[in-house]
Amino acid sequence: MDELKRQGSTDVAALAGGIVATSIAMAIDDGPYGILGFLTSVSLVLILAAYVFPHQRDKTQSIATGAATALAALPGCGFLLETIGQWLDWPIDKDGSRVSAIAIALTWCAMLALFASYDLRRNVR
């Protein structure tokens, strides 16, 4: 049974690592956040919710899971902020986006707090 639990943890870590790599690759391009990023982001968060969240974790693993989920959610949040910025006529930054780096950093922090809090409450041991 312990071997199965260890294998499950490895699979979860590999999946989360792949999602983080995909999220980072999506963030490298300059320019506005687009609908493809939004759809990919939603898909990645759903994969995490389906395959990672059901497993039990300790506190550090819950925070790491929250960080990975927050990173996966960023392109989707960026698209929503980009759309709001377009409606409200926010200025376009030098990278071609209406969403500033500080807005993305603050969004990541908020998503980290949200996802980690949820996971920590779910995994109280």
Per-residue pLDDT reduced to its tens digit, 18-39: 777 777 776 667 778 889 889 9
Mean pLDDT computed over 80-88? 94
- The alpha carbon of residue 22 and the mean position of all alpha carbons in its chain are separated, in whole angstroms, by 10
Q: Which among 30, 54, 46 is positioned nearest to 38, based on CA atoms? A: 46
pTM for this structure? 0.79
Record the tokens describing residue 52, joined without a space. 């990672």
Residue 10 pLDDT exceeds 60: no
In which domain, by residue range, is 55 found? 2-122
Number of domains in the chain: 1
